[in-house]
Structure 1
C-alpha cells in the first residue's frame, strides 16, 4: 500500500511545462446574413477616392470585341448550315455553337488585352515598393479539414519567420482554424501547435481552434472566427491548407489595404507548385505559362469589380463582417442550404456594399497545390460544380453589380460548358448520320420544278474551323509567347526548345484528358439535377495512384461512351472517325490515361525528360525551401503526439489539451447532443480508460476530445494495468 507523505510548505510543486493556450480573448462582433431578395441602395457606401471607379473604355474594348468576334463566327456558321434551308437539327447545332463559341470568344479577347498588358510591363521598370512599418493588424487564417498537420505548421513557420525577418511580425497573428473530424488528426494538430509555439517563441503569435461542429464548411469556419475574434483585426488574409505566400507578398497585400480606403478585397493569382504527377505538373505548367495572360486580361477589364477564389487574398474585416454574411439558400441540397462556392458570392456582396474588389495580377509569390490525379480532380470538381450551380439562386440577387453577375455566370458556365460541348458533338454526329442513312426529301413541294439538294459550304466550314481552333488555342499561344519573352523564366524552363516540347506535350495530354473531364463534369451536373448532395471530402496532395480495379470502376462509362462514339462515327465514314479521334482516343483509353497521369513514378520520369518544367520547379522559391526545412520537426512532433489514453492519464498532457479545447456554446435545456450522450454512457460502463476508448467510434472520440466534462469523466477511470 502506498504511503502518503506530506509535502513541506516551503517546497514548490513542479507545475510542469507552461501551457500553450489555443486562442486569444474573444472580441465578439456581428456578421449578419445578407438578403438576396432585397437591397436598399441608400445603404451602399460612397467611394472615398473617386479614382476607384472602373473605366468604361476597357469594358467596351473587351466585351465589344468579343461581341463582334462571336457575331462574325455565328454568322459564318449560319451561312455554312443554311444553304438549302436550315433544318431543325441544324438550328440546334447553330444555337449550341453560338453558346460555346461565346464562352471561348470572351476569354480570347480578354487574353489579347492581358498579352498586351504583360508585354508593356516587361518594357517598363518595376515601381519601387514602400518599406514603412505597417500600422494595422492582420489575422492570417489557415482553415484546415483533416489535413497533414506537419504541412500546415511548416508552412506557417516559413511565412511567419519571413514576415518577422522583414520587421513586420508585429502586424500579423496566425490562426489555424480546424474543422477536423478525425480525432487522431486533431490530436496531431495540437502536438504540432505546441511545437510551433516553442519554435517560434518571441517571433510569431500562433493560435489554434477546432470547431466541435463544422457547420457550413469553410465559409462557416471563417465566419465563426469573425463573429468571435474578427473585431480585433483590421484585415483577414485567408489561406488554404495547401497555400504558401512569400513574406514580401503578404506584407505588400497589407500595405495596399492600408493605402486604399475603398478596397474591400484584394485577390492574388496563385501559381501551382509541388506537382509530382503528370496531371498536377500539367496544371502547374499551364497555370504558369498560360495563366498570366488569362489572369492579367481578366484583371485588366473587370478592374474594381474583381472576384474572390477563396484563398490567398486579403479582406477588410469591416467589409467582410458587415456585408458578406452568407444566407442559406431556400430548399434542400444540392441547390439549397449552405453555399458551397462561397467565394464568388462573398465578393459580389462586398462589391454590392460599395467596396472595391481587386485582382492583384502583378503580385507574384502566391502559391497553392493541385490535385494529383483525374479521380481527385473529379472529386474536387463534383463539390465545386454543386457550389457553382447553386449560384443560379444567387445571380438574380438584388443590388449586385452586373460584373459580379458575370462572375457568377462564369462559374456556372465553367461546368455547364461540358454538357453543351457534348451536345454539340452529338448534334454534329447526328447531322452526319442523318445525311448518310436517311433518304433526303429533295422535292418538298409537289409543284416544285427543281429539287432542294442538302448542301454545305465546305470552304467556309473549313475557314470557320480554323477560326474556332485559333480562338480556342489563342490564349495558350499568347501565353507561350509572353512567357518566352521573359528570359530568366524561359531559361529555367528549358530554353526555347524545352519550352516548345513541353508545350506540345501539354497540348497532346490535355486533348486526351479533355473528353474525360467533359464526361466527368456532365455526370456531376446530372447527379446534381437528380438531387444528390456532394458532401465534403479532404483532398489528397501527393501521389494520385489508385488500384486498377478502382480505376476501371471510375472510368467504365467513359470507356463505353468512347466505344459507342467510335462505332457511330465509323458507321458514317473513316473520315468522321478521324475528326472525332481526339475525343474517342481519350475516352477509350481513359483507364490507362488516368493511371499514368496520376502516378508519381511516371511524373518523376516525365520530369527527368525535362518536360513541363517551370521556373519554380527548376529553382524552388525560398519560401518553399524554408517550409521543407521546417517540416521534419513537425513530422517528428506529429509522430510523438500522445493518444487519448495518454492524455487523460497524464495531468500535464490533460491540462495542455483542455487549454486548446474550444469554448462550448450554451445548450438549451432538454436539447441533448446524442453523440455526447452515447459517449458518456459508454464511459460510464467501462472499467478502464483503455476499455472506454475501445468502446468509442471515431465520431464519439472526436466529440469527447472537444468536451471537457467527457475528458474529465474518462480521466477518472483507472488504467487497465491497475484494474
Structure 2
C-alpha cells in the first residue's frame, strides 16, 4: 500500500521500497537512424490505412490563401496609388515592396483567424472520454536546471489526475534530466527518491540523468526513445512547465489508438498560473485570441499539421524510424544541431506518410509563460535562431507543401521585425526627401516634369485603417466569442471588464511592439552575423528583474526613440504623428519593461477583475493541486541545499546516487581532463568538507558527482563548522 502523499517528509531515510527499485526500467532499444534532407524517394512514404476525404482541407486552404492573396493584391495596389501621384522614385518602389511583404504576412493570419472564428461559432463537440485503453504510453518530462519543487509537483499532480480516470495502469512517468548544475542534479535525485517513497513502486516513476546534454532537448528525447522506447507504443512529451489533466491525457491516448495513421497529435496548451503584468497580458491574449488562431490553423492544416515540442502525444516507433535529426553543415548559429527541432520532427514524420494534426478543442492542457519582457526576449532569441536555421531545411527533399509553409511562417515571424524596421526607415527617408531635397527640374533625360516624390494622404489614411483592422481582427474575433459564451463571459469578469481588458491588452501590446521589433531585429542581425545564442534555462518564477539590468537592456531603445521623435518632429509634424505609437513605445521602454515584470501590478489588475481568464476565475483542479504540492515540496529544501554536502551527509543518498549514474566514457591515456585534475587536487589538499566546498567550482563539482572515486575522497574529509561528519 502506498504511503500518504502529504505525511512523508524529506528527511526520512530511503525506504526499502526505494532501494529495491532501479531508477529506470530495463532497456528496450529502438533504432533511430539519422534522416537525410537531400535524399528521399516517394516509395519510402507509407500508404494511409484509412482512406479520408481531404476536400474540406483543400477548400479551407483555398479560402485562407486565396483571400490572403486577394487582400495582398488590393493592399499593394492601394500602396502603389498612394506613392504614384507623381512619377514613382526608387525609394517609393522599395516602400511598396516592403509593404507587400509585411501586408501578405498579416493577411494570411487574418484569413486564418476568420476561418477559426466561424469554425468556433459552430461549437464543435468533444467525443466522450474513453472507458478503456489497450496500449502503453510513456509520459516524459525533459528538465534542464529546473526547480524540483515545481517540476515534480506538476508531474505528481498529473499522475494523480490520470489515476483518477481509472486508466492509470497504461502510463509510466519519466523525468529525463539534462541538468548541468550540480546542486540541481542532486536536488532532482532527492526529489525523485522522496516521490517514489511516497507513492510506492506501483506508481512507475523513473529518473535518468545524461552525462552530457548532447543535442539538448532533441537529444534528450532521442536518447530515451533509442534506449527505452521499445516498451511503449506512444510517448506524451511535456515541458518543464507543462500541466495536463488526466482526462486530456487519456483522450490523447485514445485518439492515437483510434487513428492508425496518426504520428503526432498536438493539444492546445493554455497559459495559467501567471501573476506579473506581462505574463497576465500573455495569459489573457492566449485565452481570448489563441483558440481563434489555433482553430483556424487546425482547419486549414488538416493532417499536414505541426508540432510544438510539448503537450503532444507521439507514436514512438514511427518517431524512431523517421525523426532522427541530422546536423546542419557548418558552425552555429545556422549550422550544427537543430534548435527548433519540433518543426523538423513533424516535417520528417509527415514526409514519411504519418499524419500530424491538432485537437484545438481538447481541454485540460496547460503551460506557463515568461514573467517579463526581458525573460521573453531571452527565450525568443533562441527561438529566433532555431527558426532561421529552418532556411536550410525548408528545401529538404520530399517535404509536403504545407510543411514548407510552416517553415516559411516560422522564418517570417522573425524576419517580419527587420522588414517592419526597414519600412519605417524608408518611410522616414521618403518624407525627408520630400521635405528637404529640391526637385530636379532639368533632368539629363529631358523630362517635362520635375522628379518630386508625392503621396495621396487620403488613400494613405484608408490603407493605414485597413492594415490596423487586419492586425486587430483576431483579437476582436476572440473577444466576440467570449462575449457570446455566457459562462466564459462571466468568468472573465463580465462584458464590461472583458472589453476593457481587451482594450488594455491591445494598447499595451501596441506599446511593446516597437520594443520587440528592435529586440527581434537585433537577434536576426546577430544570428546572420554568426553569433550563437547558446541554451540558457528559462526563468519561470514571478520574481522581478533588477532595475539596473532593465536600464542596461533598454537604454539604447530609449535613446533611439528620443532621436526618432526629435528627427520626425523636425522633418514634419505629420511624420511625428504617424510615428507617435512607435516613438512612445521606445521612449517608455524602460518603465514598460520594469512594469511588465511587477507582481504587484499584475495582482492589482487581478483584484480589479481585469485581464481575467476563466481558468483564473476558477482554477483547474489540477493547477490547484500542483500549487499545493509545490508549496509542500518547497518546504523540503532540496533546491536550496548544497548538493555535495547533501551527499556527504547521507550515505543512503550516496548509494542511490551511485546506482543512478550513467556509465562514464573512459578517458584516453595521456589526455588529462582539466576539471577532473583540479577537483582531485583540491580534494587531496582539503582537510575539511567546508574547505573543499569553498574551493570547488561548479564544473569541478559536476566531475565529482560523476566519479565514485572522487566522491569517496569527499566523504573521507573531516566535518567542518557548517558541515556534518559523513556517516560511516
Q: How would you bin the TM-score normalised by the shorter chain?
A: over 0.9
2:120 paired residue among 118, 121, 126? 118
Counterpart CA distance in 1 for 2:449 and 2:341 is: 61
**Secondary structure of the corresponding residue to residue 532 of structure 2:** coil
Counterpart CA distance in 2 for 1:546 and 1:431 is: 40
1:49 alignment partner in structure 2: 50
1:645 alignment partner in structure 2: 645
Counterpart CA distance in 1 for 2:461 and 2:478 is: 26
CA contact 2:234–2:314 (8 Å) conserved in 1: yes
Mapping for residues 150-229 of structure 1, pairs under 5 Å = 150-201=149-200, 204-229=203-228
**Secondary structure of the corresponding residue to residue 554 of structure 1:** helix
Q: Deviations over 1:519-565 (max 9, x none)?
A: 00011111112211111111112235222221111001101110111
CA contact 2:17–2:201 (8 Å) conserved in 1: no
1:678 alignment partner in structure 2: 678
CA contact 2:184–2:643 (8 Å) conserved in 1: no
Counterpart CA distance in 1 for 2:707 and 2:544 is: 38
- Structure 1 residue 694, shift from structure 2 partner: 3.6
* 1:540/1:642 CA distance change after superposition, 3 Å: closer
When structure 1 is superposed on structure 2, of 293-302 and 193-202 the one drifting more is 193-202
2:258 alignment partner in structure 1: 259
2:402 alignment partner in structure 1: 403
1:64 alignment partner in structure 2: 66
* 1:210/1:52 CA distance change after superposition, 3 Å: farther
1:5 alignment partner in structure 2: none
When structure 1 is superposed on structure 2, of 440-449 and 43-52 the one drifting more is 440-449
1:85 paired residue among 84, 87, 95? 87
TM-score, with structure 2 as normaliser: 0.93
1:11 alignment partner in structure 2: none
**Secondary structure of the corresponding residue to residue 431 of structure 1:** helix
Counterpart CA distance in 2 for 1:64 and 1:107 is: 13
1:149 alignment partner in structure 2: 148
- Structure 1 residue 708, shift from structure 2 partner: 2.9
When structure 1 is superposed on structure 2, of 662-671 and 549-558 the one drifting more is 662-671
CA contact 1:264–1:357 (8 Å) conserved in 2: yes
Counterpart CA distance in 1 for 2:445 and 2:725 is: 104
2:333 alignment partner in structure 1: 334
2:438 alignment partner in structure 1: 439
* 1:153/1:447 CA distance change after superposition, 3 Å: closer
Mapping for residues 24-35 of structure 1, pairs under 5 Å = 24-35=25-36
- Structure 1 residue 400, shift from structure 2 partner: 0.9
CA contact 2:293–2:474 (8 Å) conserved in 1: yes
Structure 1: tracts of 5 or more residues without a match: 1-13
CA contact 1:52–1:262 (8 Å) conserved in 2: no
* 1:447/1:532 CA distance change after superposition, 3 Å: closer
2:9 alignment partner in structure 1: none
CA contact 1:23–1:207 (8 Å) conserved in 2: yes
When structure 1 is superposed on structure 2, of 454-463 and 189-198 the one drifting more is 454-463
* 1:228/1:445 CA distance change after superposition, 3 Å: same
Counterpart CA distance in 1 for 2:291 and 2:429 is: 39
TM-score, with structure 1 as normaliser: 0.94
1:607 alignment partner in structure 2: 606
Counterpart CA distance in 2 for 1:198 and 1:179 is: 23
Structure 2: tracts of 5 or more residues without a match: 1-13
1:106 paired residue among 101, 105, 108? 108
CA contact 1:418–1:521 (8 Å) conserved in 2: yes
CA contact 2:515–2:586 (8 Å) conserved in 1: yes
2:500 alignment partner in structure 1: 501
2:78 paired residue among 66, 76, 79? 76
1:36 alignment partner in structure 2: 37
1:634 alignment partner in structure 2: 633
Q: Deviations over 1:24-62 (max 9, x none)?
A: 111122112111111122111111112175732221121
1:711 equivalenced with 2:694 (yes/no): no
Q: Deviations over 1:58-100 (max 9, x none)?
A: 2112111111111111111112212222210000000000000
CA contact 2:18–2:193 (8 Å) conserved in 1: no
CA contact 1:157–1:200 (8 Å) conserved in 2: no
* 1:652/1:113 CA distance change after superposition, 3 Å: same
Q: Deviations over 1:610-645 (max 9, x none)?
A: 221111111101110111222233222334967423
1:465 alignment partner in structure 2: 464
- Structure 1 residue 495, shift from structure 2 partner: 1.0
When structure 1 is superposed on structure 2, of 206-215 and 510-519 the one drifting more is 206-215
- Structure 1 residue 669, shift from structure 2 partner: 5.8
Q: Deviations over 1:297-330 (max 9, x none)?
A: 0111011011111111111101211111111111
When structure 1 is superposed on structure 2, of 536-545 and 171-180 the one drifting more is 536-545
- Structure 1 residue 407, shift from structure 2 partner: 0.8
**Secondary structure of the corresponding residue to residue 132 of structure 2:** coil
Counterpart CA distance in 2 for 1:432 and 1:450 is: 20
1:3 alignment partner in structure 2: none
1:534 equivalenced with 2:536 (yes/no): no
Q: Deviations over 1:425-461 (max 9, x none)?
A: 1111111111111111245478655666643333322
Counterpart CA distance in 2 for 1:492 and 1:34 is: 48
- RMSD of aligned alpha carbons: 2.2
CA contact 2:114–2:296 (8 Å) conserved in 1: yes
- Equivalent pairs, count: 707
* 1:544/1:71 CA distance change after superposition, 3 Å: farther
1:623 alignment partner in structure 2: 622
**Secondary structure of the corresponding residue to residue 357 of structure 1:** strand
Q: Deviations over 1:566-624 (max 9, x none)?
A: 01210122222111111001101111111111111121122222221111111101110
* 1:532/1:452 CA distance change after superposition, 3 Å: closer
- Structure 1 residue 191, shift from structure 2 partner: 1.5
* 1:468/1:146 CA distance change after superposition, 3 Å: same
Counterpart CA distance in 2 for 1:532 and 1:316 is: 36
Counterpart CA distance in 1 for 2:643 and 2:88 is: 72
CA contact 1:376–1:540 (8 Å) conserved in 2: yes
1:323 equivalenced with 2:322 (yes/no): yes
Q: Deviations over 1:190-223 (max 9, x none)?
A: 1211221122226521111111211111111111
Q: Deviations over 1:352-393 (max 9, x none)?
A: 111010011111211111111111111111111111111111
1:8 alignment partner in structure 2: none
